[in-house]
Amino acid sequence: MIIKAPVKNDNIIRELRIGDVFYVSGTIYTMRDQAHRRILELHTKPPIDLKGAVIYHCGPIVKRINEKWTVVSAGPTTSSRMDKYIPDLIREFGIKIIIGKGELSEKVVTACRKYCAIYGIFPGGMGALAARSIQEVLGVEWMDLGMPEAIWKLKVEKFGPVFVAIDAHGDSLLKNVKDIVRKNVDRLLSSICSD
């Protein structure tokens, strides 16, 4: 499935379930720790429209070539660093998709369910693949935070694969996997201990 960004129809978000794979075409924004902090802790108005936005937790490697920015690599960063900000960003600004890597808290799961948003995982170690789907750097905001922490506005085509890790129905793929592993470990330990 290819999702057009920004997302204007919640039904598209509701259709996706944990484990589904999707791609994004349109405009996405990179955001990391400092941009989240500036918006929510320092109460700075975002320089971009976040309604229906696709946010990518990424500190891209970008270089200037002939007066234009070019993304060299754009692998995901660990989303748990932004975990405490994500529920408020979803609620206050209407963000629909967050892409990153790693597990997020139950508070994020609840926010995704309540406000019809999803969290997707882009495979780590594939920054060059991500960069290939970035057609153009449309702009950059808050460069004073430094290149990786700035907000990059990117035009993408078939950006992905992205795996749905938290869906708008309150399901969490990584929590489900952890629960299964925990049950299997408990079962294994109990069989070892009973011998």
The candidate with the shortest Cα–Cα distance to 159, out of 62, 25, 8, is 25
List the one residue out of 183, 193, 141 whose CA is nearest residue 31. Answer: 141
Distance (Å, whole) CA 165 – CA 167: 7
- For residue 144, CA distances in Å to 33, 42, 43, 134, 178 come to 14, 15, 17, 23, 39
Which residue in the block uniquely carries the two structure tokens 């408020």? 88
43 classed as catalytic = no
Structure letter (DSSP) for residue 171: -
CB 133 within 8 A of CB 156: yes
Q: Name the residue type at position 169.
A: H
With vertex at residue 28, the alpha carbon angle to CA 22 and CA 29, rounded to the nearest 5 degrees, is: 130
Task: Give the containing element (helix H, strand E) for 187.
Answer: helix 173-194
Q: Which of 36, 43, 57, 169 is catalytic?
A: 36
Q: Catalytic residues, which ones?
A: 36
